[in-house]
Amino acid sequence: MQIKRAVFVSSLTGNQKFAGEGLPQIAIAGKSNVGKSSLINCLCNQGKLARVSSEPGKTRLVNIFRINDDFHLVDLPGYGYAKVSHGMQEDWGRMMDSYLSGSEHLCHIFHLVDIRHDPGQNDIQMQAWIQANDIPCTVIATKCDKVSRAQANRSIAVICRTLGVQPWDVIPCSSETKEGKDKILHRIDVILGKAEA
Ligand SMILES: Nc1nc2c(ncn2[C@@H]2O[C@H](COP(=O)(O)OP(=O)(O)O)[C@@H](O)[C@H]2O)c(=O)[nH]1
Ligand SMILES: [Mg+2]
């Protein structure tokens, strides 16, 4: 897939549903600061489409982008930012629940984890939730420019073991070097039924 057009559609806050004309939706989940916004910008070849923040916990809305006329990319609010208040964490949970439970067009989740760190408790919970809800998922191990290839392979093994996913469902990537970008775009084609796995 080549992303020719990517436009911001809207942000959801509370109990809004997003039908999006019935186009398939691919959501991006992961800890604050894992690289969700950077990945969106990298895939879409647009520097500032999704805001990239070096301050964790800033993206607290569900942000929706329309990609070509093919699908919607949904940037979910990051989890696990320790410094937010209890109330804010509850808001996060409600927002996720209301998006995820109301989204009949959600067909896949890209679950991002930082390749430099073992998955944490909230990554494990997120993945368990995805599996319990039977949502097809690809784990994207971000920031692979920060580790050697040998270290990346070791991390992928740990990710598979801790999250209970298969190696072919993990794609290492870097928004800096664009490593893994083609694989992710191909995965999107497969998800949308435009290519063979
Ligand atoms: N080295 C490196 N840094 C990255 C990569 N992706 C994101 N970052 C940095 O990590 C920080 C958080 O990125 P952001 O996309 O805002 O994360 P988000 O909170 O998940 O949306 C920023 O300082 C980015 O520049 C990557 O692939 N490689
Ligand atoms: Mg972000």
In-domain check, residue 53: yes
Q: Is 103 in the pocket of ligand 1 (CB under 6 A)?
A: no
CA-to-CA distance for 42 and 37, rounded, in angstroms? Answer: 9
What per-residue confidence (pLDDT) applies to 87? 67
Average pLDDT over all residues of the chain: 88
In-domain check, residue 197: no
Tell me the longest C-alpha to C-alpha distance in the chain: 45
pLDDT at 18 over 70: yes
Between 54 and 45, the more confident residue is 45
Query: Which protein residue's CA is at the shortest distance from atom 12 of ligand 1?
Result: 33
pLDDT at 65 over 90: yes
In-domain check, residue 23: yes
pLDDT band at 83 (very low <50, low <70, confident <90, very high): low
CA-to-CA distance for 95 and 192, rounded, in angstroms? Answer: 26
| Other beta carbons within 10 Å of 146 | 13
**85-97: pLDDT as tens digits:** 666 667 777 777 7
Q: Is 174 in the pocket of ligand 1 (CB under 6 A)?
A: yes
**118-158: pLDDT as tens digits:** 999 889 989 998 998 899 999 999 999 999 999 999 999 99
CA-to-CA distance for 60 and 80, rounded, in angstroms? Answer: 12
pLDDT at 79 over 90: no
Total tally of structural domains belonging to the chain = 1
CA distances from 56 to 30, 31, 33, 59 (A): 12, 9, 5, 8
Please report the atom of ligand 1 found closest to the CA of residue 54: 23
Choose the weakest-confidence range: 74-88, 91-105, 157-171, 177-191.
Answer: 74-88
Ligand 1 centroid to residue 35 C-alpha, Å: 4
Relative to beta strand 137-142, strand 170-172 is parallel
Please state the three-class secondary structure of 85-136 as a single string. CHHHHHHHHHHHHHHHHHCCCEEEEEEEEECCCCCCHHHHHHHHHHHHCCCC
In-domain check, residue 158: yes
Choose the weakest-confidence range: 3-17, 47-61, 118-132, 152-166.
Answer: 47-61
Query: Which protein residue's CA is at the shortest distance from atom 6 of ligand 1?
Result: 35
Please report the atom of ligand 1 found closest to the CA of residue 56: 19
pLDDT at 81 over 70: no
- Domain assignment of residue 42, given as a range: 6-191
In-domain check, residue 139: yes
In-domain check, residue 196: no
The CATH code of the domain that includes 115 is 3.40.50.300
% helix, strand, coil for the chain, step of 5: 35, 20, 40
